[in-house]
Chain A
Amino acid sequence: MMMRRSATAVLERNVTWSGEFATEPWEAAWAGEAMFFVRRLDGLIAPDSSAVPAPLLRARVQLSPDGIRWIDEGCSLVLNADDEMAFVRVREFGGWLRLAGTVRPGETAKVIAYLSLKE
């Protein structure tokens, strides 16, 4: 049996996001499936008593035919203020992938972001 090739790229490491953000364009034509992970490296924001999760950041998977112009794929992830990590999975994405999103106004998030690709 042929082993399935796989590769995880660290797209951002120990970077602080605020406002709008987008990861660098990544070529993924060889892969059939992908997962983005975003993990926070700074302290979690303690949940308040309302018990309603508060999104700290939202990010959309984006596709591109050329690595220059981008369009939303439809999948997204939400990292709540009291979560350490969030992910989103995507298939049939063509040649390029990135993650674009927004951090809640007035907040920042120090993160490490991964793209895990598999044939």
Chain B
Amino acid sequence: MNPTHTGPFRPLPDIIYADDFDCGLQGWTGLIGNYEHSLDSILPEYRDLRPPMLSNATTWDTGTGGSATGTYSMKLATRAKSRSLAVGVKRTTYPVACPLQLEMLFTFKPEASQLRLSLADVGAVGIIFDLQDAQRRVMPHLRYLNAINGELAGRWQFKQRSPTFHDIGDSGDTVSHFHLGPDGWQDLPGGDQRLCYNEIATKQNWHYLRVGFDLATMSFTALQCNDRHFDVSTLEPMTMPAMPNLWCMLNVVLFAEASADRRAFFYADSVLLSADFDAAKKDGR
């Protein structure tokens, strides 16, 4: 854990990690599709992904914007191509099946390659947990659908249905499924939200996000973005049978998708994952 952590955070009692990207990438890395024998066996949708980078948010007209609480943030950058994805992942395991809370400061913008706001050029930004207990692999998916087909959307969505698994290679040990695609997203009830874009492509405002998920019940407990608290009581996470090598997995995935032939940038200033290891004792579970 870094020695200081500034921001509007109210973590649960136990800190799993507190990542301040002024201290480096903190274990966040690129996503790669599974493969066997050859990189050619990666599912096509996973082939063109690059890892996160450290950004000081320098723009052509005003210079360095920095991050919300320092100089550097973690940046995910798509290609300048509609539907291009950028994905970052941090892979850990959990010590107790208990309530989790992820908080972060984030923002997103299109590449400022045109002298206009371009606010519909970022398609979506999202967060996924990738979890497994003794019975199930559970992948809670959330995204903010910013725009679709060039039109602003401005609403939160979740994905419950698991896509098809594909065998990779010939050993029978490796499978892969592309779960980040545009299909299967459902609107969160009451999930409309307008975010502060500011007025030109080079002005960034940072947003606060809080996602709660309980590993004991494998269910959502909270979604807050800025001043909005959304009802997650009806949300179901994507669930599938447990897989052979993923016990106690606790991965967090951040992603961005372009909706125009312009790079979409997602920035995370900090990522704070906290838990309540003693929750079961407190509520008599």
Contact = CB atoms under 8 A, between A and B. Distances in A.
Contacts of B51: 9-10
B47 interface: yes
A7 B24 contact: yes
Interface stretch (A49-57, A60-68, A73-81, A82-90): A60-68
A119 B24 CA distance: 10
Given A5-B24, A7-B24, A66-B59, A27 B54 contact: yes
A72 interface: no
Contact of A14 (B47, B59, B75): B47
Interface in A5-47: 5, 7, 9-11, 13-15, 24-30, 41
A13 B53 contact: no
Interface size class, chain A: 20 to 34
B165 interface: no
How many chain B residues sit at the interface, stated as a range, is 20 to 34
Given A7-B25, A10-B50, A24-B79, A30 B39 contact: no
A69 B60 CA distance: 9
Contacts of A9: 30, 50-51, 53
B113 interface: yes
Contacts of A30: 54, 56, 72
Nearest to B24: A5
B77 A24 contact: yes
B27 to A, nearest CB: 11
Contact of B50 (A14, A24, A65): A24
A13 B58 contact: no
B39 A29 contact: no
12 contacts: A7-B25, A10-B51, A13-B39, A14-B39, A14-B40, A14-B42, A15-B48, A26-B53, A29-B54, A30-B56, A67-B111, A68-B112
Q: Ordered nearest first, which 5 A-B pairs have the shortest CB separation?
A: A66-B60, A14-B39, A5-B24, A27-B55, A29-B56
Interface of A: 5, 7, 9-11, 13-15, 24-30, 41, 65-69, 95-96
